């Protein structure tokens, strides 16, 4: 077991600086060996030396999914509204984590929102308007697979919006989220992060596996060369939008299974629903979980 990487000790900061720039590319037939040595669980700086054992993972996953079923029953019975945002680095495992959340939930009252790029009409609307349409009604849980934070992340880095637009977003997003929370919506913001080497490994898995090739987008290709720009954008997101009413939970997702469990714990631990089993939920793992404020301080 290793200590949680912080600041310059992060593998995506210090451990990659000696890798030649031309190797950070999707132009090869396979992931370059120099980078493969830095991927989980072989690379230096990670919180754990090995993935969580399958049996332990399945046992914990089952207990947490049972708690999620209880949570949904409580949401229905008490007309609650839950919004759970999943953001993070490309290939960090947002979709897979959401699928584990929803696997045993009643789909009539739990849905996932994964919006395509804005239509011409949507581009002429108030920025948050397309997301407001998908907010939950009473008794419903909504999972956002990416969200309004597109503006501060991919749109900013890829030049799809102006500096004035993403700067305005940082003024407006906390106010927008405060309105949601004050109106009774329980808002969770989860950020999954991976190292640069791990991200590239997963891009190559998409490139070489026909069953995953649909996941590899032109944005993914472009993201390979914009690691630092994304790092700066992420730090700004946490500095400007981690608030008391709507805090960020940041989870190291180099081990996808551990990340899925921690995301579930983050939601379940924060709500006092009927029949809650705190022993089944367990405690957050400080080696791989931190707040957005802490992440920004050490970036």
What does the pLDDT look like over 116-136, one tens digit per residue?
999 999 999 999 999 999 999
Q: Given this model, what pLDDT does residue 8 score?
A: 34
- The DSSP-derived string for 20-52 is -GGGSSS-SSS--HHHHTTSTTTSTT-S-SSPP
β-partners of residue 249 are 190, 291
> In the predicted model, is pLDDT for residue 5 greater than 60?
no
The ranges assigned to domains in the chain are: 7-298
pTM here is: 0.93
What does the pLDDT look like over 20-71, one tens digit per residue?
999 999 999 999 999 999 999 987 778 999 999 999 999 999 999 999 999 9
> In the predicted model, is pLDDT for residue 3 greater than 70?
no
Angle at alpha carbon of residue 36, lines to 99 and 5, rounded to 5°: 70
> In the predicted model, is pLDDT for residue 215 greater than 70?
yes
Q: Given this model, what pLDDT does residue 4 score?
A: 43
Instruction: Assign 171 a pLDDT band (cuts: 50, 70, 90).
Output: very high
Q: Residue for token digits 């396979």? A: 30
Mean pLDDT, the chain, as a whole number? 93
Which CATH number applies to 7-298: 3.40.50.300, 3.10.20.30, 1.10.3470.10, 3.90.1300.10? Answer: 3.40.50.300
Q: How far out from the chain centre does Cα 283 lie?
A: 19
Q: Are strands 185-193 and 140-145 parallel, antiparallel or unpaired?
A: unpaired
């Amino acid at each position: 077991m290793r200590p949680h990487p912080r600041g310059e000790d992060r593998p995506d900061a210090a451990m990659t600086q000696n890798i030649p720039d031309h190797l950070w590319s999707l132009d090869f037939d396979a992931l370059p060996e120099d980078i493969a040595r830095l991927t989980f669980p072989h690379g230096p700086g990670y919180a754990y030396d090995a993935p969580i054992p399958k049996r332990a993972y399945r046992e914990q996953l089952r207990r947490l999914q049972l708690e999620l079923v209880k949570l949904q029953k409580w949401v229905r019975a008490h007309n609650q509204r839950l919004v759970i945002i999943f953001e993070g680095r490309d290939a960090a495992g947002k979709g897979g984590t959401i699928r584990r959340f929803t696997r045993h939930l009643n789909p009539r009252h739990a849905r996932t929102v994964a919006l395509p790029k804005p239509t011409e009409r949507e581009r002429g609307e108030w920025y948050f308007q397309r997301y407001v349409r998908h907010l939950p009604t009473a008794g419903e849980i909504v999972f956002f697979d990416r969200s309004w934070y597109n503006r501060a992340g991919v749109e900013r880095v890829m030049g799809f919006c102006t500096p004035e637009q993403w700067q305005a977003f940082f003024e407006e997003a906390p106010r927008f989220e405060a309105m949601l929370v004050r109106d009774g919506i329980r808002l969770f913001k989860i950020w999954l992060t991976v190292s640069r080497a791990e991200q590239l490994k997963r891009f190559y898995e998409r490139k070489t596996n026909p069953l995953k090739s649909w996941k590899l987008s032109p944005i993914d290709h472009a993201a390979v060369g914009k690691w630092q720009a994304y790092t700066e954008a992420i730090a700004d997101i946490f500095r400007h939008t981690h608030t008391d009413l709507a805090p960020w939970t940041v989870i190291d997702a180099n081990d996808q299974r551990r990340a899925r469990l921690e995301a579930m714990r983050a939601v379940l631990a924060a709500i006092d629903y009927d029949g809650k089993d705190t022993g089944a939920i367990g405690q957050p793992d400080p080696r791989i979980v931190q707040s957005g404020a802490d992440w920004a301080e050490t970036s």
